[in-house]
Amino acid sequence: MGYTVFEKIIKDHLVDGTMKAGERVAVRMDQTLTQDATGTMACLEFEAIGVPRVRTELSVSYTDHNMIQGDYRNPDDHRYLQDIAAKYGMVYSRPGNGICHQVHVERFAVPGKTLIGSDSHTPTSGGVGMAAIGAGGLDVAMSMAGEPFELAMPEVVLVRLAGELQPFVSAKDIVLEVLRLLTVKGGVGKALEYGGPGVVSLNVPQRSTITNMGAETGATTSLFPSDEVTRGWFRAQARENQWVPLEADPDAEYAQVIEIDLSALTPLVAQPFQPDNVVPVSEIAGMPVDQVMFGSCTNSSLQDILSAGWMMSAGKVHPNVDAGISPGSRQVILEAAARGALEQLVGAGVRILESSCGACIGMGFAPPSDGVSLRTINRNFLGRCGHKTGKVYLVSSETAAASALAGRITDPRGIGKKPFLFRMPERFVIDDSMFLYPSPDPDKVKIRRGPNIAPLPEMKPLPARLKGDVLLKLGDNITTDHIMPAGANILPLRSNIPGISKHVFEVVDTTLPERALQQGGGILVGGANYGQGSSREHAALAPRYLGVRAVLVKSFARIHLANLVNFGILPLVFENENDYDAIEQGDSLVFDSATLSAAAAAILRNETRGMDIPVRTPVGAKDLEIIKAGGRLSYIKPKTA
């Protein structure tokens, strides 16, 4: 039996384990990626590990999230990250150089290599045939220290593409169709590998849009083969020497095959408040629009900017619409300016926003109260835009442009303008001057720490008898934005766990942090796919600081489950999902954690209702040891000593 693309890469990097779906594997990571919203904590964790130098082939620290410098906190964090990079051997991407995923595909991603990033959209680099995986900051810090990354081997699913996209239908519509078919939890435990005759019709920016949003299905990663189209991208980026061919063997076997006819796709839209709430644009056409946002790591390539400029040149932004664009990188801005796209956009009335994650994570450009915002981003979770009343719809650049002109949701096929035909440049503008490289004399680098950078909280071992009240009872598909919101007011606290913990579950129940501290902690109960969305480990770290020591749900999202392990919070799942109805908020639960085994069910006692509820932990024996020790740092300290 042959190998898939994903299996070939894992096989070449396998340190321990067996490549059998569901089995634990340890994989060597060639590259790491961090950004300033998660990277500050990752660097603090790296320092705590005590390794004198990064031990990867390449580690890049990007500054692209916390760009609003309303006070000293964000710039202090940026200065800290720059110093850490210089001292420990990382490349530092300065503010203004671009969004980490777009820039990484441009300048660093390599076919056949492995990449772990402290951002859930790290799989963007799968667009060039890289095994790129999002993870929590501590897992990335461990990889920076030279430790292999451990994960459950995903089953590989083939998304077989046939045909070619019709005019005004784009790569965004392909991945929205994947989301419609799989849902936001259908990719959990899977790697999505794209193949079929339709692949050759998609360039690297289009492929990267698709692999970027594969994260919304819960997939471990998404990736394309590395072919002559990929080679053309590397040639245009003056990196052809790094290109290698990589494709699945003819007799490779897949756990599932999903067929998509590109010729039959129409423009699609994901409605609030989940990326899988997908319908044809024509179904909701005519809905008034208040705001349109172009850009973000999903749709901020040169092709996206040129396409939006081409369409916007047909008129002006509607008087009722506020439109803005966040280009993906400095390279994209320079190329778009040279081709007149920025002039077209500004002339039409589009605001040029910073080259950053910005509005996607609620850092500025929020919609008005109850406003309808069309965005080319990847997530439309409740409150993510900056407040709970904003209604975000996910669309392609073409649909966004048509709607900005009309002032209402509009199918771009009906605007009466010829489609934009994109041609990849023979050579992009190459200017790497915004990268700062490691110091040749690291011992002389003094790390500057602002007053907002707080030490990591102490992680005590899990008590043998776990007892606590149910602090919150939650439903299905609780996202990390529910647990630990983003936004301009909260993101500057990412390096301050005591400060950021005051905002835990803010969009659900503002009383939770105070109640948790008063009660000395407690237990969280939820439904299916708990913790979907971002890789932010703060969604585990901050509840742990508040005293949460266990989370009982129907099922977990992959990255959040790993983050719970890393910070010593016991993950439990119902043996019988109907028992979810036997627990209410405020109930007192008791559990014997000392005798808990990874192999068997255990009994949780609901003292309030006098009931015994069978539960189990979804993690293996080693992860259970880590949890009982109080988390990964507590677990490795004796070994390091």
> Taking 80 as the threshold, does the pLDDT of residue 640 lie above it?
no
Give the pair of three-digit tokens for residue 612. 């015994």
Are the beta carbons of 565 and 632 closer than 8 angstroms? yes
In 3D space, the residue among 554, 527, 540, 552 whose CA is nearest the CA of residue 470 turns out to be 552
8 Å CB contact between 103 and 62: yes
The average pLDDT across 408-422 equals: 89
Domain that holds residue 381: 268-414
Please indicate, yes or no, whether residues 273 and 258 belong to a single structural domain of this protein. Answer: no
Q: What is the pLDDT of residues 64-110, one digit of tens each?
A: 998 888 889 999 999 999 999 999 999 999 999 999 999 999 999 99
What's the CA gap between 626 and 633, in Å, rounded? 9
**Are 406 and 354 in a shared domain?**
yes
Q: Is residue 205 assigned to a domain? A: yes
156 in a structural domain: yes
CA distance 249 to 5: 8
Which of these, 535, 607, 548, lies nearest to 151 by C-alpha position?
A: 535
> 460 lies in a domain?
no
- 224, 311: one domain: no
Residues 470 and 398 occupy one common structural domain = no
Same domain, 142 and 163: yes
What's the pLDDT band for 147 if we cut at 50, 70, 90? very high
Predicted confidence at residue 641, as pLDDT, reads 46
Q: Which of 341-355, 407-421, 487-501, 595-609 has the highest mean pLDDT?
A: 341-355
pTM: 0.92
CATH number at residue 70: 3.30.499.10
Residue 457 domain flag: no
In angstroms, rounded to a whole number, what is the distance separating the alpha carbons of residues 352 and 65?
17
In sequence order, what are the beta bridge partners of 325? 294, 352
Shared-domain flag, residues 283 and 245: no
At 577, which CATH number? Answer: 3.20.19.10
Q: Let me know: does 33 contact 122? Beta carbons within 8 Å.
A: yes
Considering the domain architecture, whether residues 255 and 329 belong to the same structural domain is answered as no
Structure tokens, 273: 């408040």
Query: Which tokens go with 238?
Result: 């003056």
Q: Which two tokens stand for residue 391?
A: 């209604």
Task: Give the model's pLDDT for residue 413.
Answer: 93
Gap between the terminal Cα atoms of the chain:
45
Mean pLDDT over residues 16-39, rounded? 95
Q: What share of the chain is helix, strand, coil (3-state, %, to 5)?
A: 35, 20, 45
Structure tokens at 19: 């490549």
Helices 341-348 and 302-312: crossing angle in degrees, nearest 10, is: 50
Kindly state whether residue 422 falls inside one of the protein's structural domains: no
Q: Contact, 513 vs 519, CB < 8 A?
A: no
d(CA 620, CA 74): 38
pLDDT digits (tens, 9 = 90+) for 508-541: 999 999 999 999 999 999 999 999 998 889 999 9
